[in-house]
Amino acid sequence: MRVVVIGGGAGGLTAASNIRKYDKNAEITVITMDSHVAYSPCAIPYVLGGEIGSFEDIIMHQPENYKEMGINILTEAEVYEVLSDGNKVEYRTKDGDEKEINYDYLVMATGGTPFIPPVEGTDLEGVFKVRTIEDGEKIKKWAEKSKKAVIIGAGAIGLEIGFELKNLGLDVSVTEMLPQILPRSLDPDMAEKVQGYLEREGINVVLGKPVEKLVGEKRVQKAVVGDETIDADLVIMSTGVRPQVKLAEQAGCKIGRWAVQVNEKMQTSVPNIYAVGDCVEVFDGITGQNTLSPFGTTAVRQGKVAAKNITGKGGVFLPVLNSTVSKVGKLEIGAVGLTETAADLNGIHVFSGRSHALTRARYYPGCKPIDIKLVCNREGRIIGSQIIAKETVAERVDTMAVAIAKEVNCKELSNMEFSYAPPVSMVVDPVVIAAEDACEKLKNSSGSKD
Amino acid sequence: MRVVVIGGGAGGLTAASNIRKYDKNAEITVITMDSHVAYSPCAIPYVLGGEIGSFEDIIMHQPENYKEMGINILTEAEVYEVLSDGNKVEYRTKDGDEKEINYDYLVMATGGTPFIPPVEGTDLEGVFKVRTIEDGEKIKKWAEKSKKAVIIGAGAIGLEIGFELKNLGLDVSVTEMLPQILPRSLDPDMAEKVQGYLEREGINVVLGKPVEKLVGEKRVQKAVVGDETIDADLVIMSTGVRPQVKLAEQAGCKIGRWAVQVNEKMQTSVPNIYAVGDCVEVFDGITGQNTLSPFGTTAVRQGKVAAKNITGKGGVFLPVLNSTVSKVGKLEIGAVGLTETAADLNGIHVFSGRSHALTRARYYPGCKPIDIKLVCNREGRIIGSQIIAKETVAERVDTMAVAIAKEVNCKELSNMEFSYAPPVSMVVDPVVIAAEDACEKLKNSSGSKD
């Protein structure tokens, strides 16, 4: 069996190594435009800020490591044609040679491309996107001689990068077209708490102002956002990522509303072409609608499912809840399921439960404030959660991911057994407090007996 | 409505304050033998070791605070007779006066009494139990002039106290009658990991040796455990706690195999007497058998349920999974559900999934090793989990508590969406790795297709 994987990110490499796990004889080739494989793009901000020593540190494996597993990796190589009728891929090597390779199965793991708004000046020197290690290296070098950074786009990556640049001593402004930061993962009330933290730490947050243009001669000097002009010698375009579907489309794979369509086996409309990672669209576990899930964790889970199906093991990728966490400065911000905003957009009536509590017993040194929001549908079922604190956020998001996946309602959650010891938790867990708050609201709204 | 609560621990006070929450007019009286109320007994070890500044810090409220809520608290007062036919309690005040008080509802929250094995020498000076703040104060004072401590009983409290005494500079031996430490919460394989940590930190662990006697003239000088004699000028008896059921029995409440019997409303066999906390027995959520759940969190949840039922709101206490976590030195140790050992004792056939991974991305500074064990029944349903690491254990136990309560199997758990960011988690969560390990074993044992 010959398998070709296009793309060397989390989805592609997971598919490749799991195909090897289940089939010792498969010929596996991974073709990637990147010069590195198996690194953690999510870690780029932390190398930039110096928390992680070097970009080398975030490279988990070298192509040679895959060679040892019998996986052939072609770096800096670009597939320019997929001939799905002939089960053949044409690509250009690092040295510019044109070659072709046949496959029995093809895995599209082409990822996403940073979306750069079509405004003037984004090609000036000092304007960067954040996607690859090379991007990170360039930013780090440029930052050394910079004083004022403007981050366009206040999603997780924008905030992470912004904070790390501030740690390097730069003046940092984060600008966002929408009226709040982190619009995909947080509701306005929770976003305000993060914004307060950023502002207290000295970051200038500019909301509701789209980038109009970047100004400079050769090098960027100013960013114009809405009616505001901000001095800048370093600009980061963190304005989102678009699924890279060009090759899939060319291969005849059906493209959905957002990206490549796949069934629960991660199979495209072309039976021997599978697709995984940021280039595919998936189903939302709450709304049932098509959605994107551009996370490394999703890519890994999809890569495993594709590998199982290609090797005949069988496997199913379930609708997503989009669990996410990021660390901005010392603050951890997590979310899973729907925000109230997203629920409204989907016509789902919701109410919320909240708590403002502590991560440990209040008398235990080092306990930290924590904010939790639970989004519940009309029947009280938890369909989303947002959590902000300086510790334990990721694990609490995971707890909520299990609760949401298993259709737990606020009453049940308020009765769940959370573990307790003063150095590590509160006797009544902050999640339980939020669930009790939700129960009160449910009772009041429905008039039903508790 | 007149309510009398016997006992001022977590269960009793939660019942009292929740009755007040639902009924503004109830006359509520709490009678406790203790001189303090509303403190955290679980925090005593950490005051001892100096992590928490003083015993004052772990007292959450004073009797006066309850007075403001309209709850009358009688400290250092002992109920010596419950006349359930007359709905009357007779008690002795701090000053030795004998009084009586009538009730419409009585809440038994009499807690537990440290079990002291019937051996010679436990009344010597320098021999302590750990239950109240007074115990803690006495130990702290005695420890200042001590050099060698022997802890009898290697449960969570014994280990916590042992480590804190070591931190104070004492030579510490922990002895246990059973062949492993933490026999209630961990299986032998996981207990060994904790034991290794203790020994590396310089604690002498003596297993499989019951205490035979304590030796000394006036002051303790030696502890004899099995065939071994250990020098000691400070001995802690952390040999377990027995439910205090005397008053309940006298009042005519039915006593079960382990403690006071209650229904799901926390009502005893005497209809207007409720019981909560360490003095009651409950149902195990996995085996369905009667069991004990001597945790502050359980007491709080029971207190709420009792209050709701006494005030006519209605509420149900569900079978327990006994989520627990403790911090011993820098190590957090957590468990929920059944151990393999407990499953065997209950005739449940189990297998386990394991992972040895990291709490954060391996390149992120400060990431820590983590060990996870999942106990699954023959169908792969998770019925227990044990987790050991220097961080994030409590929250992961909570995740597993939800998973176990919702009858998640290992396959489902391996597909759960765990959140990821390099500073706070691994791209494939250690819980998922353990679940995948369990899936492999399930597949191999059943021969079924994955």
- ipTM, two decimals, is 0.94
How many C-beta neighbours within 10 Å does residue B29 have? 19
> Would you say A183 and A171 are in contact if contact means Cβ atoms under 8 Å apart?
no
Q: Where are the domains of chain B?
A: 2-113+242-310, 127-239, 330-445
Give me the sheet containing B88-92, strands edge to edge: B78-83, B88-92, B98-102
State the DSSP code for B114. Answer: E
What share of chain B has pLDDT > 70, as a percent?
99
**Which band of pLDDT confidence, cut at 50, 70 and 90, is reported for residue A446?**
low
Residue A146's region, left for phi above 0, alpha for psi from -120 to 50, else beta, is beta
Instruction: Tell if the CB–CB gap between A406 and B406 is shorter than 8 Å.
Output: yes
Which residue in the set B365, B419, B449 is minimally distant from A398, CB to CB?
B419
Partners of A217 in beta bridges: A219
Could you read off the pLDDT of A191-212 as tens digits, one per residue? 999 999 999 999 999 999 999 9
Based on the residue annotation, tell me whether A42 is a catalytic residue of this protein: yes
Instruction: Tell if the CB–CB gap between A402 and B424 is shorter than 8 Å.
Output: no
Helices and strands in chain A: count of H runs, count of E runs: 12, 25
Instruction: Tell if the CB–CB gap between A399 and B394 is shorter than 8 Å.
Output: no
CATH code for residues B2-113+242-310: 3.50.50.60
**CA-CA distance, B190 to B332, in Å (whole number)?**
12
> What SS3 class is residue B139?
helix
Asked whether the predicted pLDDT for residue B102 surpasses 50, the reply is yes
Compute the average pLDDT of residues A247-257: 97
Nearest residue of A to residue B47, measured between CA atoms: A364
Q: Domain B330-445, CATH 3.30.390.50 — does that match?
A: no
Give the lowest-confidence range in A54-63, A193-202, B19-28.
Answer: A54-63
Instruction: Tell if the CB–CB gap between B297 and A10 is shorter than 8 Å.
Output: no
> Would you say B108 and B243 are in contact if contact means Cβ atoms under 8 Å apart?
no
Instruction: Tell if the CB–CB gap between A314 and B449 is shorter than 8 Å.
Output: yes
Compute the average pLDDT of residues B408-429: 95
How many C-beta neighbours within 10 Å does residue B147 have? 12
Instruction: Look up residue B328 and give its two tokens.
Output: 């011993």
How many C-beta neighbours within 10 Å does residue A85 have? 9
Compute the average pLDDT of residues A307-333: 97
Contacts of B393 in chain A (CB under 8 A): 424
Which residue in the set B308, B415, B424 is minimally distant from A327, CB to CB?
B424
Spell out the CATH class of B127-239: alpha beta
Instruction: Tell if the CB–CB gap between B394 and A51 is shorter than 8 Å.
Output: no
**Which band of pLDDT confidence, cut at 50, 70 and 90, is reported for residue A450?**
very low
> Would you say A291 and A282 are in contact if contact means Cβ atoms under 8 Å apart?
yes
pLDDT of residue A90: 98
Instruction: Tell if the CB–CB gap between B408 and A395 is shorter than 8 Å.
Output: no
**CA-CA distance, B321 to B182, in Å (whole number)?**
17
Q: Which amino acid appears at position A274 of this protein?
A: Y
Which residue in the set A395, A418, A424 is minimally distant from B401, CB to CB?
A418
Distance from A107 to chain B by nearest Cα, in Å? 21
CA dihedral A134, A139, A142, A143 (to 10 degrees): -150
Could you read off the pLDDT of A367-389 as tens digits, one per residue? 999 999 999 999 999 999 999 99
Asked whether the predicted pLDDT for residue B127 surpasses 80, the reply is yes
**Which band of pLDDT confidence, cut at 50, 70 and 90, is reported for residue B446?**
low
**CA-CA distance, B266 to B16, in Å (whole number)?**
14
* CB pairs A-B closer than 8 Å: 219
Sequence-ordered list of residues with C-beta below 8 angstroms from that of B420, at least 6 positions apart, any chain: A42, A295, A296, A297, A323, A324, A325, A394, B426, B427, B429
Q: Which amino acid appears at position B383 of this protein?
A: I
How many C-beta neighbours within 10 Å does residue A170 have? 19
Asked whether the predicted pLDDT for residue B148 surpasses 50, the reply is yes
pLDDT of residue B449: 42
What share of chain A has pLDDT > 70, as a percent?
99
Residue of B57, B282, B363, B407 to mutate, interface with A, max A Cβ within 10 Å: B363
Which residue in the set B394, B396, B417 is minimally distant from A297, CB to CB?
B417
**CA-CA distance, A240 to A242, in Å (whole number)?**
7
Distance from B93 to chain A by nearest Cα, in Å? 30
**Which band of pLDDT confidence, cut at 50, 70 and 90, is reported for residue A38?**
confident
Q: How far, in whole angstroms, is CA A407 from its chain's centroid?
A: 24
Q: Whose CA is closest to A82, among A232, A279, A351? A: A279
Q: Whose CA is closest to A233, among A255, A218, A253, A212? A: A218
